[in-house]
């Protein structure tokens, strides 16, 4: 759909009005979460662009608190699934239970029937459970028995992985990791933030309550607006160049990366980069995407979509380094 300058101007105005709930959510989350603004932004990007998020970070970085608080602030349903080796697909999606009195089966829906799902330590459950969750994420519906049930809107899955303690885990295959829109690496807070965390957790007697400051309807409207955010052809080409540079680094004067990259980003990477950039623009109250949006979100979109070779591992090169090199080399429009 071609948009005129007037369309974009109107969209800008609409977005600037409709994105007010973002500030309210940020303020509300700020009551209980110190720092971690990037993680909160990414949660909102996932929420607004129909994506799901894989969160990697050591325990205790407010991952659970963030999604729980986000659910509370949006007045949405939240459920947490702790992935363990003995978990079954039915424990996630639900199952048919026999009612002896009525002599019939009835459906007991699983915890996936919520707006915000925290799949804690997703790599601790076997592949069949992971598949059940990922399928539900992709299809946005679940089949129990003969009936298919649509999942509620908004629907955001936040899966966590622990970067340490890899023994006894079932690492997600590349094809399944690709289904996550963003892979966010959560870092430690700064010294000042940590001091604030200590004070908040040791001095205050009452934990501040999170109030619902946005409705699911607002979120759904925002999602529609995000889809309408204008993305210029030059910016599209910029996205394509970045993704192509992960596949054919030689074409972008990055021949040195060729032996380090096993496989580059899929077309899903380009789609998600564009969608995430649109959501990023929306969060910044803009009706159009600028290269900054792409650069800001690029690492989180591509991090889990680029496969490294053994040579890269031997040389201690990580995906972030490769993406940084690509961003330096690909010309900004």
Binding site for other proteins (CB under 8 A): 3-5, 8-9, 12, 230, 232, 234-235, 287-292, 295-296, 328, 330-333
In angstroms, give the least distance from the CB of 256 to other proteins: 14
Instruction: Using the minimum distance from each CB to other proteins, give the nearer residue, 193 or 292.
Output: 292
Q: What tokens were used for 125?
A: 């459950």
Instruction: Using the minimum distance from each CB to other proteins, give the nearer residue, 3 or 221.
Output: 3
Instruction: Using the minimum distance from each CB to other proteins, give the nearer residue, 12 or 169.
Output: 12
CA distance 187 to 32: 17
In angstroms, give the least distance from the CB of 292 to other proteins: 4
In angstroms, give the least distance from the CB of 187 to other proteins: 19
Instruction: Using the minimum distance from each CB to other proteins, give the nearer residue, 211 or 234.
Output: 234
In angstroms, give the least distance from the CB of 209 to other proteins: 35
User: Which among 70, 179, 97 has a CA at the least distance from the CA of 133?
Assistant: 179
Collect all residues with Cβ–Cβ distance below 8 Å to 35 and sequence separation of at least 6: 189, 190, 193, 196
User: Which among 143, 73, 153 has a CA at the least distance from the CA of 110?
Assistant: 143
Phi, psi of 271 (to 5 degrees): -60, -50
Instruction: Using the minimum distance from each CB to other proteins, give the nearer residue, 273 or 289.
Output: 289
In angstroms, give the least distance from the CB of 274 to other proteins: 13
Instruction: Using the minimum distance from each CB to other proteins, give the nearer residue, 220 or 332.
Output: 332
In angstroms, give the least distance from the CB of 253 to other proteins: 11
Question: How many Cβ atoms sit within 10 Å of the Cβ of residue 332?
Answer: 13
Instruction: Using the minimum distance from each CB to other proteins, give the nearer residue, 81 or 235.
Output: 235
User: Which among 286, 185, 175, 225 has a CA at the least distance from the CA of 49?
Assistant: 225
Question: What size, in residues, is the chain?
Answer: 333
In angstroms, give the least distance from the CB of 318 to other proteins: 22
Question: How many Cβ atoms sit within 10 Å of the Cβ of residue 143?
Answer: 12
Q: How far is residue 320 CA from its own chain's centroid?
A: 17
User: Which among 145, 132, 142, 41 has a CA at the least distance from the CA of 97?
Assistant: 145
Q: What tokens were used for 199?
A: 């004070």
């Amino acid at each position: 759909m071609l948009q005129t300058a007037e369309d974009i101007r109107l969209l800008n105005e609409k977005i600037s009005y409709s994105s007010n709930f973002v500030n309210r959510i940020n303020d509300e989350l700020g009551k209980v979460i110190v720092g971690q603004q990037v993680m909160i932004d990414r949660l909102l990007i996932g929420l607004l662009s129909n994506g799901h998020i894989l969160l990697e970070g050591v325990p205790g970085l407010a991952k659970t608190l963030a999604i729980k608080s986000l659910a509370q602030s949006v007045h949405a349903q939240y459920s947490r699934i702790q992935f363990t080796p003995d978990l079954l697909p039915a424990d996630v999606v639900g199952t048919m239970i026999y009612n002896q009195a009525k002599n019939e089966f009835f459906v007991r829906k699983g915890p996936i029937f919520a707006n915000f799902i925290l799949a804690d330590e997703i790599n601790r459950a076997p592949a069949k459970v992971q598949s059940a969750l990922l399928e539900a994420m992709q299809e946005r519906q679940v089949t129990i028995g003969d009936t298919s049930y649509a999942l509620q809107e908004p629907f955001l899955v936040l899966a966590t992985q622990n970067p340490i303690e890899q023994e006894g885990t079932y690492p997600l295959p590349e094809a399944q990791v690709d289904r996550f829109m963003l892979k966010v690496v959560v870092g430690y807070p700064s010294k000042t933030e940590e001091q604030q965390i200590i004070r908040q957790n040791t001095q205050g007697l009452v934990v501040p309550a999170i109030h619902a400051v946005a409705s699911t309807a607002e979120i759904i409207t925002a999602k529609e607006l995000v889809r309408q955010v204008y993305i210029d052809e030059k910016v599209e080409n910029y996205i394509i160049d970045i993704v192509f540079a992960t596949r054919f680094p030689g074409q972008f004067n990055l021949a040195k990366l060729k032996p380090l990259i096993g496989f580059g980003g899929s077309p899903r990477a380009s789609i998600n980069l564009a969608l995430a950039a649109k959501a990023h623009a929306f969060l910044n109250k803009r009706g159009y995407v600028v290269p900054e949006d792409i650069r800001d979100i690029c690492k989180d979109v591509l991090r889990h979509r680029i496969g490294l070779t053994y040579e890269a591992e031997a040389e201690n090169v990580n995906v972030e380094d490769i993406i940084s090199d690509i961003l330096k080399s690909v010309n900004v429009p």
